[in-house]
Structure 1
């Protein structure tokens, strides 16, 4: 990878997003439009321009490191950034009407803060240094804290923001302390240099292992893995649903990116130390996530525990990636994990999109019972719910099945057959609460006060495309999987 001292061209997407964010902030300050339409349109324009810029950079093979290794551009960063732009755009389209009827658009904070959170995610995705990872993480987190508390008159949302802030600060402290120990043991902040020192056997092993423990703990919090999952159900349930989707979509991609950068690029030589940690986190996440979700009656809370269980599968893919002397198995495993994360975010967008579209003035679609008889009111949206729940449960031919299958194949290839059996067992347990939602949608009588879905044509169209992709990618997963594996091979030091 070519490295230069300063090359602003490599960081074009981040620079453009910063300019757009500041411009939108100024436009919103002088705009009197009650629905913040100019702010919304400018935000969509910004995301469209960024998608084009990143796609052009990817197509032209733009790659390299700049700012003395603080910032890295490669195929992995291009793929995850484009996915993040799409996730944020879809989230804002789904949540626009919801935010409008709840007076969350008195100012343009929803859009501006979302863009600055995205900027932090982009810095995380392209970080090649411990310092830039932490800066990106804090930029994203500070914007998310404010977004969760956006409804200042809502006690539940304010409580969720406080929980996320306190626990997020604790997790950031874990990460920072782990990074300081890594720096103390190796004398470097650059991930490439850290890897070289570890490979040469010149680092203090005890300090490194302690550093890894703190790093993995911080990363597990950001991913929402057990036992660092306490914030997930409370924050998902307490946040305004539009903000819950902002929190549960693109940030997961950024957290996955820094996990790859830290563990695979920087600490690959210590895989024997961090693999058992990931295994424990994965099994606990699968167990607690699936078993606790069964008891939930709140749909958002059920999806939160579902998220925890799916992070268990992502971690299983990561832990099966480091196979000594077999880079092809490593790239396949990390590629499967990346594929799983991308398709999980795609499914999450549509799942919370349904919740947003069913919510209306004075009514929050939060409980599973709120979906009763949806097939009577809207057969098309009921069919989308069925696709989503079946995909999350891992039922063929939907994309969730292929994503789980790819991770299980990686586990078996790495010799972790017992773990594969455990993962399948908990997936079968998890199928119960997904099928319960389908039963409510198709076989229960609708509530007497059930109103028709009041969604715009744009929202319905995006949700339909979102749902269709769940089926199409399940039938034809090869292209995206090949893209993921290629991005891993070209970007990480395997």
Structure 2
């Protein structure tokens, strides 16, 4: 009698949020292949947000039902931290993708390049602009990246963790290089992110090999058992921990693996920067927590001092370098580095037991990720709105006096800056208080003291932006700004990447590009070339308003979200 082969049990219902996002991304690829060019953009937007809404509903229902467990042959763990992270990722991705849909600011076209050309203004690109060709495939790319992030935070197997790392990273490498304006800067950002990301992935894979050599298994629970039994060579174990830490800390943006952050954040399309700043941070930090707590909990006396040192150095470098920046996007990039250090303070103070300290550490970190992510999306949404005749005006001196001309938008940006600084009545204050309490109770009061001092340093450059908005006088603009002031009113804010002043790479646009640039573009600034606020779509303003509301509400009433984060603070082993 032939024995029957039993099929593997994959728990499809439990994995449904992952499958929905992956399915939506695959359908998006089919849309690119099937629908005519002019119909793709609307179809992709509708499909993407439908996927996100359904995924959010299914995730919340599964979380409320308590459907937790190790799934997919032990490679994926669906537990409360995974559900919390999935919900946060979907919500933050939805806010970020609202910025992807913005077309009014660019004269009826998106912020993404119409063609993969190195130099704007070529004949082929001019024809593509006139035909309204757009990179609508950015939506399935974003969904693929989101799928990788969701798999990343729930991976219980080191090989699956590596695959998830690549799935979340590769679409981001592509999207970073697709900016319509500042084309060469954008492509440089994509290339730099790819090369440094590949190097970090190599370290990560090396660490995976070392840990497999030590434990004989890729599962985190199996590695934890091997560590407890002291089964292998300690050098293999330490080398594996170091390699994996490099890969994960690179994604977190911690020092000394942060060098990609300012260049990539500055060069990438601002909508993509918002997606990276919010969602990638959530995925990387939660994956780091899972690996350290579940797989390497027995080595906590080795990795806790390491995380404490990295946290201090990251806070110091990010804060000090942010002070010197005169570009808002670059300042926000170093702000991201600084906040990575604040998050790592809670990681350093964590306990691997299921007591109150672990609940405090993991829960406060999860709350911090949400507070920071929402404020980041809102801040970058405001950056997309502040414009001159060449497009986004990200120089800080160009924002002088903006609070007097556009008080509501300046007030929104000020809320985000105050939240980043950890000022009371914002969610950032509660988040920072939580991670400091975790580090203090975890036995690292010196990290808290350093963190408080560096918080004061960080508050300086955040408040400097607020002072510039309300109290500084606008400075006369020269160079490109002066040339832009002579441009006709119709060319105020259309397709800026097709002209030499907008891109800065010496490209010369032709007649076709000029025709498209001047057709129906909304005037964003005055005839004097003054920096102002572009006429954006409801989606972009909606992202700003939603971010402000969440930041203020969870600063005044943090209880519901904080309780939810604390309840989600125990990893399933």
TM-score of the pair, normalised by structure 1: 0.95
User: Counterpart of 2:149?
Assistant: 121
User: Counterpart of 1:305?
Assistant: 334
478, 483, 487: which one pairs with 2:568? 487
Kept after mapping to 1: 8 A contact 2:31/2:40: no
- Supply the distance in 2 between the matched residues of 1:18 and 1:469 (Cα, whole angstroms): 28
Question: Is 1:81–2:109 an aligned residue pair?
Answer: no
- Supply the distance in 2 between the matched residues of 1:361 and 1:83 (Cα, whole angstroms): 36
Question: Is 1:64–2:69 an aligned residue pair?
Answer: yes
Which structure carries more relative contact order (alpha carbon 8 Å, separation 6+)?
2
User: More helix per residue: 1 or 2?
Assistant: 1
Kept after mapping to 1: 8 A contact 2:311/2:345: yes
User: Counterpart of 2:434?
Assistant: 406
- Supply the distance in 2 between the matched residues of 1:369 and 1:210 (Cα, whole angstroms): 47
Kept after mapping to 2: 8 A contact 1:152/1:158: no
Question: Is 1:94–2:123 an aligned residue pair?
Answer: no
Structure 1: which 5+ residue stretches go unaligned? none
Question: Is 1:295–2:324 an aligned residue pair?
Answer: yes
Deviation of residue 52 (structure 1)?
Answer: 0.8
Deviation of residue 152 (structure 1)?
Answer: 8.0
146, 167, 188: which one pairs with 2:217? 188
- Supply the distance in 1 between the matched residues of 2:538 and 2:243 (Cα, whole angstroms): 47
- Supply the distance in 1 between the matched residues of 2:260 and 2:533 (Cα, whole angstroms): 33
User: Counterpart of 2:494?
Assistant: none
Q: Deviations over 1:19-55 (max 9, x none)?
A: 2222222223313327812211211111111111111
| Equivalent residue runs for 1:443-462 within 5 Å | 443-446=471-474, 448=528, 449-462=530-543
Deviation of residue 252 (structure 1)?
Answer: 1.2
User: Counterpart of 1:475?
Assistant: 556
Question: Is 1:7–2:11 an aligned residue pair?
Answer: yes
Deviation of residue 360 (structure 1)?
Answer: 6.8
Kept after mapping to 1: 8 A contact 2:252/2:281: yes
User: Counterpart of 2:512?
Assistant: none
User: Counterpart of 1:167?
Assistant: 196
Kept after mapping to 1: 8 A contact 2:378/2:543: no
- Supply the distance in 1 between the matched residues of 2:255 and 2:231 (Cα, whole angstroms): 33
Distance 1:203 1:24, change over 3 A: same
457, 461, 464: which one pairs with 2:545? 464
| Equivalent residue runs for 1:78-477 within 5 Å | 78-97=83-102, 100-104=109-113, 106-151=134-179, 154-322=183-351, 327-359=355-387, 362-446=390-474, 448=528, 449-477=530-558
- Supply the distance in 1 between the matched residues of 2:341 and 2:473 (Cα, whole angstroms): 35
| More deviation, 83-92/439-448 | 439-448
TM-score of the pair, normalised by structure 2: 0.82
Distance 1:150 1:450, change over 3 A: closer
Match of 2:37, SS state, is coil
Structure 2: which 5+ residue stretches go unaligned? 1-7, 115-133, 476-527
Deviation of residue 236 (structure 1)?
Answer: 0.7
Kept after mapping to 2: 8 A contact 1:373/1:446: yes
| More deviation, 288-297/340-349 | 340-349
Deviation of residue 476 (structure 1)?
Answer: 1.2
Kept after mapping to 2: 8 A contact 1:186/1:204: no
- Supply the distance in 2 between the matched residues of 1:196 and 1:178 (Cα, whole angstroms): 18
- Runs of 4+ deviating beyond 4 Å: none
Q: What is the count of residue pairs matched by the alignment?
A: 488
- Supply the distance in 2 between the matched residues of 1:428 and 1:35 (Cα, whole angstroms): 48
Match of 1:72, SS state, is strand
| More deviation, 386-395/8-17 | 8-17
